[in-house]
Amino acid sequence: MMDHFPAYFVIALFILTLISLVRFQTQPERIFGVLFLTLYATNMVTTQQVINSFANKGLLTLLLLMVCSIALEKTKLLRQVAAFVVKPNYRQTWWRLYSVTVLSSALLNNTAVVSTMLASIRNNPHHAASKLLLPLSYAAILGGTLTLIGTSTNLIVNSMVLEAGLTPLGFFDFTLVGSVVVLGCGVLLFALSRFYPNYTNEKAVAADYFIDAKVLASSPLIGRTIEENGLRNLESLFLVEILRGGRLISPVAPQESIEQNDRLLFSGDIKKVTLLSQFDGLSLFASENGLPIRNLTEVVVRPESLLVGKTMKQVGFRALFDAAVVAVKRDGKALSGKLGEIELSSGDYLMLAVGQDFQNRHNLSKNFYFISGLETEHLLTGPKAGLVTVGFFTAIALAALEWVPLFQGMLLLLGMLLLSQCLYANEVIARLPRQIWLIIASALLLSQALSNTQALDMFRALITQHQHALSPFWGLVLVYLCTWLITELVTNNAAAALMFPIAYGMALSLDSNVHSFILAVAFGASASFISPYGYQTNLMVYSAGNYTLSDFIKIGLPISLLYGGIVISAIVYFYGV
């Protein structure tokens, strides 16, 4: 028994990590960080294995791809694509949106595709955003399964494949199964379009931002009514309440007089916020923090952000990010009270006025998803935009043709982008996905520890002893189901990283086709259709479309069932077990 103690210890760590990820879903990087330190401190992994895991070629390829995508987000390419998609006819718009998103997500990181197209689709003049944003997210997920680079989960699985000493996955190894999934789920997704929620655009677009303005002591507004001050007829901005000495006045009557230190709380189109600067003595929350509101940046609060459950004053928002919040939006719901005292939630949209040091802060990617469609001051035009677009797709094409490895192509491209100042070092540092780096490297180390301590050998022996009760087919089904459940409960990246060593061990024990089991993990990790929190693209459209959890369940459950059936059937048909 003592001989097996290290193996039992590592297995216990694996189970504890999984439980912790379910219990503390917003802090995966901390959980994997503790796992990494525990494995290294107990000598379950060697120093060389630690170095190899953090320098894994597949993992570094993923990081390079995500960093180079930053430059592509700064071009007008995907915004022009989004403008091409939307037409007055809904059916025509739907199929354009689905096909364009699928193809774009196959060649680009699908999170970047949704991030860039979100604003244009959300603000379209013809259709309710809730009728388009859910299929946008699902199409991005499905399109990401077509190629090696379409989604981070495929690249994570490839990094695990390389760590196991297997032949690396090819660019099109996912395409056969992915194509059937895209066609089958696309037809069902369109058939379900009649059940999409039909929330009005006024509740789905930027018209629901909550804006806080303070009446200064020197303001000429004091002593005059709302109507006299002209605050009642502002274009696209509505005075919803007044906060006066801790007391809320709502609704606000036209004859209500303005008093010193009143907080005027508006709801409306954030693009019209500069109208408030026309009123002398009316100070926005951002202005109080010494930041201009000329250039605004829109972000979404990540689930793992330190802001969740806290107010902006509690975390010292201005000092932490060199930014101030101009306005807040939450799931299309009305907010109330002083802006600085609102308790923030995962998925909240924040409109930020940023300082000069904002892009240099290293904590931005940990706390926010960027909606790049509103960052017009950072767009690339002319030769630089051409260099980014041509360079990116050339690197992808060379990798697809197997002429130049993806790692080499992306590294050379990154060098060109930095030298030509299409990207700046501070942008790379600020947007470097350090969280994903830590999670995947720690998962690779866990896989090494399972191998070092013979835990995988024990697992294989257990399966071999009960081989009569578990055929290769049902083993494949079990691997897919476990990966899918972890994806919905935790996140897609964690699911791929945790399930690979189990799937690999089971495939060897059952003398099955290892490639089939690898694909089951990759496709299972992308099968997040029911939870808005399991996949980045779902979270991004959650607030923008004014969706509820029941909306995801109603549409996502039948998609998940069909997706799983197609994946298992296609893997067995094309590759066998």
- pLDDT digit string (tens) for 271-329? 667 667 667 788 876 666 666 665 678 888 988 888 988 988 888 888 888 888 888 88
- pLDDT digit string (tens) for 439-465? 778 878 887 887 788 776 777 677 666
- pLDDT, average across residues 84-100: 90
- pLDDT, average across residues 387-407: 88
Give the pLDDT band (50/70/90) at residue 146.
Answer: very high
Cα–Cα separations (whole angstroms), residue 454 to 4, 8, 459, 479: 8, 10, 9, 21
Q: What percent of the chain has pLDDT over 70?
A: 87
According to the model, what pLDDT value does residue 535 have?
Answer: 78
Tell me which residue range forms the domain holding 233: 203-374
Contacts of 543 (CB under 8 A, 6+ apart): 300, 329, 330, 331, 332, 347, 348, 349
In a domain, 283, yes or no: yes
Domain containing 354 — which CATH number? Answer: 3.30.70.1450
In a domain, 568, yes or no: no
- pLDDT above 50 (res 22): yes
Please, how many CA atoms are within 13 Å of residue 158, restricted to the half-sphere of its CB? 24
Cα–Cα separations (whole angstroms), residue 388 to 106, 415, 423: 18, 12, 10
In a domain, 57, yes or no: no
- pLDDT digit string (tens) for 37-87? 999 999 999 999 999 889 888 788 878 887 888 888 777 676 667 667 878
In a domain, 331, yes or no: yes
| Structure token digits, residue 522 | 């990759």
Residue 576 burial (CB count, 10 A): 12
Give the residue from 356, 428, 423 showing the smallest Cα distance to 74: 423
In a domain, 325, yes or no: yes
CA–CA gap between residue 241 and residue 459 (Å, rounded) = 62
In a domain, 235, yes or no: yes
User: Which of the two residues, 159 and 435, has the higher pLDDT score?
Assistant: 159
Residue 437 burial (CB count, 10 A): 18
Give the residue from 491, 476, 471, 492 showing the smallest Cα distance to 567: 476
CA–CA gap between residue 349 and residue 371 (Å, rounded) = 9
Please, how many CA atoms are within 13 Å of residue 408, restricted to the half-sphere of its CB? 8
According to the model, what pLDDT value does residue 119 have?
Answer: 66
In a domain, 164, yes or no: no
Counted domains in the chain: 1
According to the model, what pLDDT value does residue 517 have?
Answer: 96
Which of 303-317, 394-408, 480-494, 510-524 has maximum average pLDDT? 510-524
CA–CA gap between residue 365 and residue 301 (Å, rounded) = 10
In a domain, 253, yes or no: yes
Which of 344-358, 497-511, 547-561 has maximum average pLDDT? 547-561
CA–CA gap between residue 86 and residue 94 (Å, rounded) = 8
